[in-house]
Structure 1
Amino acid sequence: MSDTRPQYGELATPEEQRLAAGLPPIDEVQPAVVVAEPAPQAVTAEPARRRPVDRFATIALLAYGLINVVMTAMSYLDLPASMNQTMKMLGIDGEFTNFAQGRLWGTIAAIVLVAGWCITAALSVRRLRRGKLTWWVPIVGAAVTLLITSVCIAVPMLGDPAFMAYLNSIGQ
C-alpha cells in the first residue's frame, strides 16, 4: 500500500477516488457526445378508477341484452310467422303475405341486432378497461339498434296488403 491513499475520515480528491476505483485519470477520459432528447409530454390522463357498481350495471345490462338479442333474432329469422302473430294480436283481419320481403328484411334485422350488440359490448368493455363511466353505453346501444331494426321490420310490414288495409281503416 502506498501512503498517497487517504486515511479513514480524510477527504479524497476526485483524482484519488478514480485511482482507488481503478478508473483512468479524468484528463485521459474523452468526453461523451450527449444527444438532447425532447422532454416527455406531461401526462394529463387520470388513472383508471374502480367503479364496481358501474361495472356490475354494465355487465348486467349487456347480459340482459344478449338474452334479448338471441330471442329476438330467432323470431326475426322467421319474420312472416312473427308478423302473423302480431297482426292477430292487433286484431287485423287477414294474414301476412309479404313473405319474400319478410324473410329478407327479417334476416337483415337479425344481423343488425347481433352486430349492434357486439359493437355495444366492445365499446362497453373498452370503456370499463379505461375506468370510465359505462352503464349508459348498453342503453344507448340498445336504443340505436332498436331504431335501426324497427326500420328493417317496417319495410315488409308496410308492403303487406292486409296491414296497409288496416292502417287505411284507422284513418277513416
Structure 2
Amino acid sequence: MWDVLLTSTLLFFGVVDVISTFGTVSDLGPALREGLEAQGAGTFSSDAIAADAGAVANIVRVVVLLITIVFALLQIQRRRIAFWIPLVGATIAGITLVVAVFIAVLSDPGFIAYVENMQPQ
C-alpha cells in the first residue's frame, strides 16, 4: 500500500511540475535574459533558439511523463514496486530541461562574449 501512495504522490508532483512550468519552458528567452542579467553575465538575445529548445524540452517532458504514468500503473497493477519509475522519469525530464537551457545559453553570442572576457589575458 505504501508503494501505491508514494508512486501516486510522485506522479502527481510530476503532472503539477510539467503543467506549471510549461509556459516558462516554452518561452525560455525572457527567463534566461532575466537570469543572466541578474548574474551580470550580459544580455541574452537568442530568443529563437531558446524558444526552439524550450519547445523540444516541453515535448520530451510531456512524453516522458506519459510513459512514466503508463509504466508505473502497469507495475502497480502487477503488484510490483513502482515508486522508482516516477523518480527515473523525473530524472530524465530534468536532464532534458538542463540540456535545453545549456543549448540556449551556449548559443547566445552575448553570453559567449561574456565568458571570453572573463578569461585572463
- 1:100-119 to structure 2, matched below 5 A, reads 100-119=48-67
Q: Match for 2:7 among 39, 50, 58?
A: 58
* Cα shift at 1:137: 0.8
**d(CA) in 1 for partners of 2:117 and 2:89?**
36
Residue 18 of structure 1 aligns with which residue? none
**Equivalent residue, structure 1, for 2:97:** 149
Structure 2 residue 109 is the aligned partner of structure 1 residue 166: no
Map of 1:71 onto structure 2: 20
CA contact (8 A) 1:73 1:114 kept: no
Amino acid at match of 1:59: S
| Contact 1:66–1:117 (CA under 8 A) maintained in structure 2 | yes
Counterpart of 1:135, as a letter, is F
Tell me the TM-score normalized by structure 2.
0.89
Structure 2 counterpart of 1:99: 47
Contact 1:74 1:110 in 2 (8 A): no
Once the two structures are TM-superposed, the CA of residue 171 in structure 1 deviates from its matched residue by 4.4
SS in 2 for 1:96: coil
CA distance in 2, matches of 1:66, 1:167: 36
Alpha-carbon distance in 1 for matches of 2:75, 2:117 = 49
Tell me the C-alpha RMSD between the 2 structures: 1.5
> CA contact under 8 A between 1:109 and 1:153: conserved in structure 2?
no
**Equivalent residue number for residue 33 of structure 2:** 84
Distance 1:91 1:130, change over 3 A: same
Q: CA–CA distance in 2 between the matches of 1:64 and 1:138?
A: 9
Q: Which runs of 5+ in 1 are unaligned?
A: 1-51
TM-score by length of 1: 0.64
- Distance between the aligned counterparts of 2:79 and 2:85, measured in 1? 13
Structure ranking higher in helix proportion? 2
Give the paired residue count. Answer: 120
Whose radius of gyration is greater, 1 or 2? 1
Aligned-pair identity (%):
27
Q: Measure, in 2, the Cα distance between the counterparts of 1:58 and 1:80.
A: 34
Higher relative contact order (CA 8 A, sep 6+): 2
**Of residues 74, 84, 87 in structure 2, which corresponds to 1:126?**
74
